A and B are shown apart, each in its own frame.
Chain A
């Protein structure tokens, strides 16, 4: 039995295969998770990725993984019936010059957890040049009931705000703001999983 294969940085040129807008390649997946059969509230998630000096990271890749509006995952380990079967719950995008990224998706439902339910959340993985392994974080929603979430409870109180996306209304479309600070004063909480 041998050990696992080490992680290496995604490097500066992943876009040609993984986020290939503008290149001669069909994307595996993009930043719009919404399917015609997806139930629940349509939302946008947007934010910027910033480095330890507060400068925009214009070559990061963000991946998100989430449950549907009923809190179900499109995965064999979640064996509950899935009425919106086309909804996969996975998205991938690259950051722009300004460090900005966005996803169109639906708001996930509460997910079962180790001790009762987890508050609605999205798993976020960050990859970039200069990152030798991906960082995992979680996005929670400012208008959800987050008290009692078993994972948030593990985060020091003063750092929890980095995980809560703030809701605003953009001409009737709900938008959640989630900036990712890789390092520094208000560094985003990353998890050891």
Chain B
């Protein structure tokens, strides 16, 4: 398989400097980026798939003695390339706050309770069609210091590899209808409305498990076009 990585696709990304998100001001490059060709070094990348996960890594509600508190949810979808083809056997890593909006991270000082039954880390690999599925609890919103009365909308962090180091993506998945998205400088750092919408999951009644958990569908499109000819 040969992949090409059109640069125009990157117009969906936020700029490095987005002053409404204050931490970008001292952490974004000021010198112009140096354009360079894609060499073998960029067109290859780490290969992590099913060999990197342990049974149960994809269920964040079963990593401890008891079940975490909160609204149990299924998060599933497909990882796709720019041609809309599934990206098979690629690692998907996630992390998130608990149902109260608190991360287990030692620097998180938000005065909301930790849950002894919730770490908030998950990992899985896509199947042959690019599908993945996690079970977790819906994360809570939480305050942060960016501006007065700033609150992050509920979100789950995603980290993916795809076919090369150029397809590497770290993003965040949001929930439909969350009123906090309108005020969030991180979500709104993405200039194009359609591109922003691609970060919002879709409530999925068909995948909702009766008497057990609501489902949200989140497809992720990575950089890269597969140049393998279409099968007739």
Q: Which residues of A contact B (CB under 8 A)?
A: 1-18, 20, 22-26, 28-29, 51-53, 55, 57, 59, 63, 65, 67, 73-78, 88-90, 111-114, 118, 121, 123, 125, 127-135, 138, 150-151, 154-155, 159, 182-184, 187-193
Partner of B39, one of A11, A29, A55, A111: A111
In this complex, the interface size class of chain B, counting residues with CB under 8 Å from chain A, is 35 or more
Partner of A125, one of B10, B29, B40, B168: B168
Between A and B, 20 residue pairs with Cβ closer than 8 Å are: A2-B221, A3-B82, A3-B192, A6-B171, A8-B172, A13-B107, A14-B159, A52-B27, A75-B44, A78-B40, A90-B48, A130-B21, A131-B16, A131-B24, A132-B13, A132-B186, A150-B37, A189-B31, A190-B31, A191-B34
Interchain CA distance A159-B31 in the complex, whole Å: 10
The segment from B68-76, B114-122, B175-183, B203-211 found at the interface with A is B114-122
Query: With contacts A18-B95, A73-B44 known, is A154 near B34, CB below 8 A?
Result: yes
Query: Please, which residue of chain A has its CB at the minimum distance from the CB of B3?
Result: A77
A11 touches B48 (CB 8 A): no
Q: Most A CB atoms within 10 A — which of B1, B11, B21, B40? A: B40
Partner of B24, one of A11, A24, A132: A132
Interchain CA distance A4-B104 in the complex, whole Å: 31
Q: Chain B binding site: helix, strand, loop or mixed by DSSP? A: loop
Query: With contacts A51-B26, A133-B13 known, is A5 near B63, CB below 8 A?
Result: no
Contacts of B44 in A (CB 8 A): 65, 73, 75, 77-78
Query: Please, which residue of chain B has its CB at the minimum distance from the CB of A54?
Result: B26
B165 touches A65 (CB 8 A): yes
Query: With contacts A6-B190, A151-B39 known, is A25 near B24, CB below 8 A?
Result: no
Query: Please, which residue of chain B has its CB at the minimum distance from the CB of A131?
Result: B27
A75 touches B47 (CB 8 A): yes
B223 touches A18 (CB 8 A): no
Contacts of B90-110 to chain A: CB distance below 8 A: 91, 93-95, 97, 103-108
Interchain CA distance A182-B26 in the complex, whole Å: 8
Q: How many A-B residue pairs have CB under 8 A?
A: 254
Q: Which residues of B contact A (CB under 8 A)?
A: 1-2, 5, 7, 9-16, 18, 21-31, 33-48, 52, 54, 63, 82-84, 91, 93-95, 97, 103-108, 119-123, 157, 159, 164-166, 168-172, 186-187, 189-190, 192, 194-196, 198-199, 220-223
Q: Chain A binding site: helix, strand, loop or mixed by DSSP? A: loop
A192 touches B48 (CB 8 A): no
Interchain CA distance A25-B95 in the complex, whole Å: 11
Return A120 CB to nearest CB of chain B, in Å. Answer: 11
Contacts of A132 in B (CB 8 A): 13-16, 18, 21, 24, 186, 189
B104 touches A5 (CB 8 A): no
Contacts of A128 in B (CB 8 A): 27
